[in-house]
Amino acid sequence: AQSVTQPDIHITVSEGASLELRCNYSYGATPYLFWYVQSPGQGLQLLLKYFSGDTLVQGIKGFEAEFKRSQSSFNLRKPSVHWSDAAEYFCAATTSGGSYIPTFGRGTSLIVHP
Amino acid sequence: NAGVTQTPKFRVLKTGQSMTLLCAQDMNHEYMYWYRQDPGMGLRLIHYSVGEGTTAKGEVPDGYNVSRLKKQNFLLGLESAAPSQTSVYFCASSYPERSYYNEQFFGPGTRLTVL
């Protein structure tokens, strides 16, 4: 079955520190991958997406993610976290070879300490 | 361009009452979705629609009904609310014909409490 796993429920970092949020997928075909951010009390907003080509993709708000086929991973990174990055982050995937309905991970809550 | 809007933003119901949540989008999207979000559970798909007049069940459809009479609107109904339906409900929509690799656009959510 297709699945998306975010191993970390919570991540705590200090402001200015680097960040990496993990995402692993299990799909038969190469998936299309997404990262969304949900600020408190808000809906989800797309940060970035990967379809093909360059495995390092840039997104909004200074985020980037790297697709690693060998590790079935699509980890989200940011070199220096700001207090306003505190939010819930969701990884999602879909594929052209099956259902077009995306599968979401359970989310990682990012806490930023001053 | 308002994007995806949801009505109402908050609602409190008593067990057994009914209500309808309205989702509207002005982006001419074919696909629309209803999710519920509960702590530690992420987003769970309730129902979705691939076009006007069509709907399909998602992961957790029991206790909910939907209708897509107009392309821009997707309604979620609770016929007899239960405390287990206390949740935050999100509507989303996505581009036609290339839904599988285009992102979803989300509404701001409806916070529903069932007493």
Pick from B40, B41, B104: CB nearest A102: B104
Enumerate the residues of chain A whose CB falls inside 8 A of the CB of residue B104.
Answer: 44, 46, 102
Structural contact between residues B107 and B4, judged by C-beta atoms closer than 8 angstroms: yes
Tell me how close the Cα of B66 comes to any Cα of chain A, in angstroms. Answer: 17
Yes or no, beta carbons of A49 and B104 under 8 Å apart: no
pLDDT mean for each 10 residues of chain B (115 residues): 92 96 94 93 93 93 97 96 97 74 88 97
Decide if A22 touches B, using CB distance below 8 A.
Answer: no
Across the interface, whether the CB atoms of B100 and A45 are under 8 A apart is answered: no
Q: Which residues contact A53 (CB under 8 A, 6 or more apart)?
A: none
Q: How far apart are the first and last CA of chain B?
A: 36
- Once rounded to an integer, what is the mean pLDDT over residues A86-94? 94
**Distance, CA of B44 to CA of B63 (rounded, Å):** 14
Model pLDDT for residues A24-78, shown as the tens digit of each residue: 999 777 788 999 999 988 999 999 999 888 899 999 999 999 999 999 999 999 9
> Which two structure tokens, joined as six digits, stand for A5?
């796993």
Residue A21 in contact with residue A108, Cβ under 8 Å? Answer: yes
Interstrand relation of B10-13 and B110-114 (parallel, antiparallel or unpaired): parallel
DSSP state letter for B41: T
**What residues contact residue A70 under an 8 Å CB cut-off, 6+ apart?**
none
CB A47 within 8 A of CB A63: yes
pLDDT at A97: 58
CB B81 within 8 A of CB B87: no
For B67-94, the pLDDT digits (tens) are 999 999 999 999 999 999 999 999 999 9
CB B42 within 8 A of CB B27: no
Tokens of B95: 């581009």
Q: Which of B31, B43, B109 sits opposite A90 (nearest CB)?
A: B43
Chain B 56-115, residues with CB within 8 Å of chain A CB atoms: 58, 90, 92, 99-101, 103-104, 106-109
Residue A51 burial by Cβ neighbours in a 10 Å radius (0-12, 13-18, 19+): middle
B26 phi and psi angles, rounded to 5 deg: -115, 25
Nearest-by-Cβ selection for A94 from B92, B100, B106? B100
- A103-111: average pLDDT: 94
Distance, CA of B78 to CA of B90 (rounded, Å): 15
pLDDT over threshold 60, residue A20: yes
